[in-house]
Amino acid sequence: MKARVYEERLTVSNEHLDELGHVNNVVYLQWIQDIARAHWERLASDELKSAYLWVVLSHHIRYHKPGLPGDELRLVTFVKDTEGVRSVRRVEVFKNETLLVEAETEWCMIDTKRRRPTRIPDEIKHLFAPSSDEIKQND
């Protein structure tokens, strides 16, 4: 069975830093989008990827602690909820077990042929829906 929670690891480099010497907020936003795309690319079939795409409706990001040069970070994401054309995805960024950043992004599913929002099919809901245990681990 494919994982519903998706993780990536990365090391903070100088290109990620702002003038204060820690990870720039815009970089975190890019990572949030990148891991969401990677999760979609990993789990969705080629057929689903050609039929649908996702656009962002809103981001809510909370910064708890800074990421610093050389830090080894773990990014974790999962889909928290889906309803109609919308999906809420959670992303958390950790250094070891310390939560640095948490984000919730509301996404809208687009039908690529019609170029319009479309209800999220059950197939996709089931593909990304986390189990209750996975949600409890990430709350």
pLDDT band at 4 (very low <50, low <70, confident <90, very high): confident
Total tally of structural domains belonging to the chain: 1
Rounded to whole angstroms, what are the CA distances from 10 to 36, 44, 70, 90?
A: 15, 23, 10, 18
pLDDT at 137: 57
Q: Is residue 139 part of a domain?
A: no
Q: Is residue 66 part of a domain?
A: yes
Let me know: does 73 contact 11? Beta carbons within 8 Å: yes
Q: Is residue 27 part of a domain?
A: yes
Q: Is residue 1 part of a domain?
A: no
pLDDT tens track for 94-134: 999 999 999 999 999 999 999 999 999 999 998 887 555 54
Alpha helices in 13-139 (DSSP H): 25-43, 46-51, 122-128, 132-138
pLDDT at 2: 40
CATH value at residue 73: 3.10.129.10
Q: Is residue 58 part of a domain?
A: yes
Cα separation of 39 and 79, whole Å? 10
Return the structure tokens found at 105. Answer: 């992004």
Q: Is residue 34 part of a domain?
A: yes
**Is the whole-model pTM more than 0.85?**
yes
Q: Is residue 138 part of a domain?
A: no
Q: Is residue 136 over pLDDT 60?
A: no
pLDDT at 3: 46
pLDDT tens track for 33-79: 999 999 999 999 999 999 999 999 999 999 999 999 999 999 999 99
User: Which residue in 11, 31, 30 sits closest to 73, CA to CA?
Assistant: 11
Cα separation of 55 and 14, whole Å? 29
Q: Is residue 42 part of a domain?
A: yes
* Domain span holding position 52: 6-133
